Amino acid sequence: MFDYGQKVMEHFANPRNVGEIENPDGVGTVGNPVCGDLMSFYIKVEDGRLADVKFKTFGCGAAIAVSSMVSEMAKGKTLKDAMMITNKMVAQELGGLPENKLHCSNLGADALHKAIENYQANSGQGTAKCCCPYCDGCISPQESLCRTCGKTFVFCENCHQPYLEGSKQCPHCGVK
Ligand code: FES
């Protein structure tokens, strides 16, 4: 049994903002390269702020608690501030996660950022920025190196997300 803190257990037992938004302004889905679980975020944007944030997570208790916390942290924030939420901040806000569950927290902020980027791309404000699926770093599609963790990537031809060079399958969309 994992040693989850009280806050993690509380968000796992009563996750906030679960579900899908009808006609969302942006959607972001991220797959966990370690376990293959999936997290999707749906956003509604009004006056440059996240008016609504919902999620659907196919993953473990830690991933559900992380999604719930991300949705709470992001709601009402400007897009710029929401883009500054990192996976590390989410884990901290939850009072920490067991070491071997930290990979689960790597989905949260990334999925939210992807939803925001999707909104920006749809509304013609593309930022051409992606998040490293292995750490908190941001990488640009012009580069194939994460300057934060030093991993090198290729970009999936199907979903255009980065994945580790040499991997046989894109962890985001599953295309081989
Ligand atoms: Fe897959 Fe936690 S074990 S997200």
Q: Dump pLDDT digits (tens) for 33-82.
A: 778 889 999 999 999 999 999 999 999 999 999 999 999 999 999 999 99
3-state SS record for the chain = CCCCCHHHHHHHHCCCCECCCCCCCEEEEEECCCCCCEEEEEEEEECCEEEEEEEEEECCHHHHHHHHHHHHHHCCCEHHHHHCCCHHHHHHHCCCCCHHHHHHHCCHHHHHHHHHHHHHHHCCCCCCCEECCCCCCEECCCCCECCCCCCEEEECCCCCCEEECCCCCCCCCCCC
Give the domain CATH number at 76: 3.90.1010.10
**Are 13 and 46 in the same domain?**
yes
**Are 108 and 132 in the same domain?**
no
**Are 40 and 100 in the same domain?**
yes
Note the pTM of the prediction, 2 decimals. Answer: 0.72
Domain count, the chain: 2
Establish if 157 belongs to a structural domain: yes
Ligand 1 binding pocket includes 64 (Cβ within 6 Å):
no
Establish if 1 belongs to a structural domain: no
Range of the domain at 141: 128-176
Domain limit, last residue, from 125, 140, 157: 125
**Are 35 and 98 in the same domain?**
yes
The pick from 29, 37, 66 for probing ligand 1's pocket by mutation, whose C-beta has the most ligand atoms within 8 angstroms, reads 37
**Are 142 and 103 in the same domain?**
no
Q: What is the pLDDT of residue 128?
A: 47
pLDDT digits 0-9 by tens, 92-131:
999 999 888 888 888 899 999 999 999 988 886 654 456 6
**Are 110 and 132 in the same domain?**
no
Ligand 1 binding pocket includes 37 (Cβ within 6 Å):
yes
